[in-house]
Each structure stands twice: as C-alpha cells, then as structure tokens.
Amino acid sequence: MAFVALLPAFVPAFDPAFVPAFVPHAAPFAGLLPASARASAVVAKAAKRKAAAGKRKPAKPAAFDLKKAMLVAMRAHQDLWRLDPQRECSRDVYVRADGGSRFFFAGKAVGAAGRCDAASAVLLQKRAILEHARLLHPELEQMHRLSRPLQLWAAPADSEVSVARKVQALESLEGARLSRAMREDADAGATLAGFDPDQPESDGRAGFSAPPRPGGVRLPEDGVPVAPLEVRFASSVAEAEAMAAQQQEAMAAQQQEAMAAQQQEAMAAQQQEAMRKEEAAARPGAGGGMPKPVAPKVTGAASAAAESATDSGEDSGGGVVGPASAWWAR
C-alpha cells in the first residue's frame, strides 16, 4: 500500500489506466490517487467508449410495410387521377418474370402532371408494385423464390381489353431511370405518384388478404403481339346474355350446315354407287352368272365330215355326232 501511495510522487506523468498492468491489485486503491490522475483516467475511459461506439454496426432499416405504402399510393392516385384527364401521365402496369411468356396485370400508375412522367411514376413505386404483384399472382411469387428477377412493363391507360385481345403492345421499363432531383423530392415527402392496385373479386372480398388471381397474357418476349385474338367482352349482364344467345344461334347454324354437307356427301355416294352398278350391268356376260361356253368354229375337211355325219345320223357310239364330236375327232 505504501508503494502504491508513493508511486505518483516518483512518476509525475503517471496514468492510472496503466496501474492494473503493473500492479494487478491496484484498482481498489484508485481513490488514493490525486485528483489530476483520476481526471485523466475518466477522460481515457470516455475516449475508449467513444471509439467502441464508432465500431458498432449501423442499425437495420425498418421492414417494408406494404399495407401502409399501398394505402398512401391509393390516396395519391385518387388525387392525381383527377388532375390528368388526358391520361398523359398514366399507365397500366404489368409484371413479368425474366424469361417468362406471361404478362400479369398489376394495376394503374399515375404521376403528378408537370412534375412526374408516367415511367417515373411506375419506378417511384417499384417495390410496392412488385410486392403486390407477387401476392396477387402465385406464378410471380414462385419465380421470385427461384431468384428470377421481375420486370416492369407498361401500356397506355385503360387498355386492359386491348392487351387481352392482343391488339395493344407493352413497353418495357428496363431502360427507364429516375432523375436525382425527382428522387430527392420523393424522399422529402412530395406526392409525385400514385398507384391503384388490381384486386381480385372472385369471392366478393377485396384488399391484400384476398385470394390470388389467376391470369396473365401470353405475348412474345418483346411484348408485341403477333396476331389479334378474336375475343368479345361484355360490359353488363344483359350484354353478356345477348352475346351468349348469338353464340348459340351461330353454333346451331354451323350444325345445320354440317348436317346439310353430310347429306350431300351421302347423296353423292349413292349416285356413284348407282352409276357403278349400271356400268357393271352394261358389260358383256353380266347376266348374273358365268358366261356360256361358245363352240369353236370348225373349218376345212373336219367341218365337211361333221356335216356329212350329222346328215346321215351315223356314229360309232350309236348317237348323233355333233360339232363337238367333230372337233375332238379332228
């Protein structure tokens, strides 16, 4: 104890932080040190804690809340949609897995007129759109789990029917980029874009807990249809019933035409069979059996002998010798 108490007197620049290194049991006696030494020890500990705090890992960002982001996007869409009557800043949004042949409708995006174009409106809400599309279409979720990137495609506003009929082409947004100023404005909280998500209505429910919606449009890889699809769409129940009645009438007419064609083919076959029978009946020996044998014509001396034998009625066998006997006798 006497050595520890006299140690600062012999070492003027003594640092109490090194006391445990030289004297293992000197920590309990730190209170015996002068005030200047204790102050330097406090400063050293504070610097050590500050250095340790600088080495800590940054805190993880908060998890993405799809429901909250979607509600904000839907409110913004309601406000911005009215300000774009010409639909110049509006687009229908489709999502496709890389290398896939199906394009899935995800919803409608709109940008603030004069501040955000249509492509930028889609890119500003890229994460919310892709997350929603994965929930809406199981095929996209499966491709995402297989590490297949998802792509954003766009079509003119309110063109779902034209795309389904393969009349309207889709535009890829892979090459589109956001400007730095627009991104900074969006991060600052400015309302630049909105999104109206496609929601399934198969069982009457709506929202993010609704069941997945099947579908998708098959198009080439470039999104340009090869040929239009002959499809008619009904906007009301009455129109659908009228279309169904027309379709039934068309099917009945096709059946009648098919039956008439079959009858004509049957009549043609009967006529051909009758003509074949007439030709067969007109041929020689077509009396219904084997043709009768015709005796060969005998000439010369054999013919004269046969005629004389026939006239005399003599024969070697006691009968009349006819032309056949003369033939064999020759």
Per residue in 149-182, pLDDT tens? Answer: 999 999 999 999 899 889 999 999 998 999 999 9
Tell me which H or E stretch contains 239: helix 237-281
* Tokens 């064609």 -> residue: 261
Nearest to 160 by CA among 204, 111, 205, 216: 216
Alpha helices in 31-179 (DSSP H): 35-54, 66-82, 118-124, 126-136, 138-145, 160-164
d(CA 133, CA 139): 10
CA distances from 10 to 1, 5, 27, 33 (A): 15, 10, 19, 13
The Cα diameter of the chain in Å comes to 188
This prediction has a pTM of 0.53
Bridge partners of 104? Answer: 95
Question: Would you write out the chain's pLDDT as a tens digit for each of its 330 residues?
Answer: 454 455 555 444 445 555 445 444 555 555 555 666 556 766 777 777 777 666 666 666 678 888 999 999 999 999 999 999 999 999 999 999 998 889 999 999 999 998 999 999 999 999 999 999 999 999 999 999 999 999 999 999 999 989 988 999 999 999 899 999 999 999 898 999 999 999 876 554 444 434 445 568 999 999 999 877 665 656 677 777 888 888 888 888 888 888 888 888 888 888 888 888 888 888 766 555 555 555 555 555 555 555 554 444 444 444 444 444 444 444
Name the residue among 327, 52, 77, 64 with its Cα closest to residue 195: 77
Q: CA neighbours within 13 Å on the CB side: how many for 45?
A: 8
Per-residue pLDDT tens digits for 71-116: 999 999 999 999 999 999 999 999 999 988 899 999 999 999 989 9
Q: Please give the Cα distance from 97 to 109 (Å, whole number).
A: 20
How do the domains of the chain map onto residue ranges? 2-53, 66-218, 232-265
